[in-house]
A and B are shown apart, each in its own frame.
Chain A
């Protein structure tokens, strides 16, 4: 059994005391990051990346730490959804629909336990799915040449633009901004500087970490200044936490189905955890029908989005690790981490660096159990954290971002760029223009251009080479469908409004 051998290799790395400690720290930090409104998985991981880099962690350790934060944040997001009716992060939005009414009915503890357990089921099944599917996909990925990769990158932009935005034109603009920024700097092939405007600071290109921290973390500060921190009100009181066995048992099929739906949504490049929780909630709602009472605080309405969300988080790692194409905003940030660590994700990662991949998978399995323990018996600690006022939290986040970026290069120019990206992020989000395609553009722009140019070198400038294989044609078709189809499904995919009271 190849799988078992790989897993034992993974566990031999993940069970070392040092790695275990990192996983513990990551889970703890992650749950806090997820729970705090204003800090989600993507900006939380983003501000931590420069720090892990300067700490000099090796690839496996850094990856274990950050993916534990990532999984942890997915768990933590539900806490403020349920207690404050404010999603701690975007994928937890759907959890407010049933979580908050249930908490208001005096069952806050039950809601937290059900959602915590559902998160565990989703994340666990998704990690198992990752374990089984990723090596298979990695084998398929060997068939990918430059023209297939070009189509795949295009697919990521198209599905992300189609799903994650309400307006395709805006998503396309966002992708173009990102790609345009990626072109700045010295051209890989010819060695000539491009689009730098003669500014020497730009010859190296714009560091994607600067852009990510600016767009995700600094922009958030501006939003809190606008709202004067009024979002940080304290909602429902949490009484004693007991385990509602009956509800857990009654929601078992919901959890399993939602995990499946979420996992598949996660694998689609560009779709991610928000779509996973959304599809899981909507499908369970239609299965339960009118009598299900979704939206009034039923157990299934809490279990479905949380299982879906966490399963999608695991699923999103599949395309990220095997193809180097992230499935969501946060996996885009994780991809940035891999690139900083000089690891090239893709099929060769599985054959050349098995210790990284399998160490990561084993660490995820362990992190999951740790997270279940942290999020069910110890949930009260994290509820305490929610009481940190925004007026302390957000300045703190900003200062950590500054230290992180400053420690990377020690240049004030990067700090100024980061502030500029923060301001850009504020304006973009105000105009309902998604910022994730910008990040994806900056991350993948160079690879996308390389793929195109290599394809043209191979074919000696014949553009039809881009459509020369079945895989490439399939990817192009999927890209076009992914971009166009959501236009006709606007009514169907309309997100339900949050309950306001």
Chain B
């Protein structure tokens, strides 16, 4: 019997004007596990994560986090209870140095591991630069470091592997595994099928405004419709 989710966005519906993006979509994250949300471009993965993080208001549905139900969640409230939302880009301010932004996280949530985490992510020598002075991969690693230093109960990561090279992706995968080992519940989205399937403990597939729990990556890759309509040649 799997553990109860720490986080779940349940039966979420969302329309933008006449266009319905989400009909009844759900995603969840369990302690120490990495849930990967797959789906085609524009199917509503980012919208679902933003609703889960309290950045967008759902038309219907409920967000459950750390034992509380929220009809209208707001990120500051969820964040103070342990949620961290990592957007597909620009988590960090372009103007302030990475060090200044990490200090803000340490001030708010404490933490004495920043030196170790920065070292593990290979950005300890870059902290006095602003994110605008970093490459895409370095910036992504700095963002992941910020999330890791916060030590969240739940991390919602929108396309963490988008636009970065394979060596950066390996470092980030390792960081996610470490975070999960420390008990963090992670939801990640993306299109990097091999990378994400190898990282995931649980797969959720989004299609036509709704979601399907696919189970473990092995189970998911045996699912005929999922293989045919999403994985294609990537997982044969």
Indicate, yes or no, whether A interacts with B: no
